[in-house]
Amino acid sequence: MPDGQRAELIDGQVYNMAPPSRIHQEISYQISRLLGNYIESNGGECRVYPPPFAVNLDADDKD
């Protein structure tokens, strides 16, 4: 895949992904903001990382 091209591999089949729409990005931002504000106001230690954010499930780091 060319660098930066969005695609998913599902059962061995590559599917090209359209970029997220403006409304999708707005909703994602609002949810992230609300979650972050809730966590902060309740003294939580979690952090909210809005997409895009790489997730590596095999990583063994504590950062």
> What digits encode the pLDDT tens for the residues 27-55?
999 999 999 999 999 999 988 888 777 76
pLDDT of residue 30: 95
For the chain, counts of helices (H) and of strands (E): 1, 2
pLDDT of residue 17: 87
The overall average pLDDT reported for the chain is 85
Two structure tokens written together for 12: 């061995």
Q: How confident is the model at residue 20 (pLDDT cuts 50, 70, 90)?
A: confident
Identity of residue 55: V
- Write down the pTM of the prediction: 0.59
The residues spanned by each domain of the chain are 21-63
